[in-house]
Amino acid sequence: MTRSDVQLMLDVKAGDDSSFNLLLQKYRTPLVNFLYRMVRDTATAEDLAQEVFLRVYRARKQYSPSAKFTTWLFRIATNLALNSVRDNRHRQMEVSLDATPVDEDVAPLQLPTREMRIDEHMVERDRADFIRGVISALPEKQRVAVLLHKYEEMDYGEIARILDCSESALKSLLFRAYETLRVQLAPLVSPPARHAGKEAHHEM
């Protein structure tokens, strides 16, 4: 019989390290992917994922099954990822104070010549990388909401608990996030003939 995540964690609490290995096997790939989509760097994502598992292991003696295990796991991951993104952004600001701002992930979404920049992206990067870039340009909370909703397929209640907001607020947040993505990814989403007219109408 397959043990639930909560039962596995309770077994870890009781001293069974093999149960921790089962949780590691089950969640390392989703966690690394979530973190990679947040920080867009494989090595950083893996380091953060290890830190998440380490924190879970360290907190095993205090674990109480008050919520789903994944809520706890991804809440830790979200906090670590957001801290990492903020630290990295802060470092980049310090380094590039005298440099020309050429952040390719953010600048194309803010410049009026966005169509040209998107075309450049399509040439320079593959389609998937472009999509990742657009997702990572979302505001922090919207980005986390989309990743947990679309890729982790979490229910609204669980995402709301991770983001510490109401379900109603989450639905509005998700709608705004998907609307932004729909506009920014219009070249991939809409038939080519319909792009120009729609962007002005749906600009957020």
**Contacts with another protein, residue ranges (CB under 8 A):** 17, 20, 24-25, 28-29, 32-33, 36-37, 42, 45-46, 49-50, 53-54, 57-58, 61, 127-128, 131-132, 135, 149-151, 155-156, 168, 171-172, 174-175, 178, 181-182, 185, 188-190, 202
Closest CA to 81 of 130, 136, 133: 136
**DSSP-based helix, strand, coil % in the chain, nearest 5:** 75, 0, 25
Nearer to another protein, 117 or 132 (CB): 132
CB of 97 to another protein, least distance (A): 32
Q: Which residues of 83-96 are buried (b: 16+ CB within 10 A; e: fewer)?
A: ebbeeeeeeeeeee
| Amino acid, res. 6 | V
Name which of 51 and 140 has its Cβ closer to another protein: 51
Q: How far is the CB of 174 from another protein (least distance, A)?
A: 5
Smallest distance, another protein to C-beta of residue 94, A? 29
Residue type, 122: M
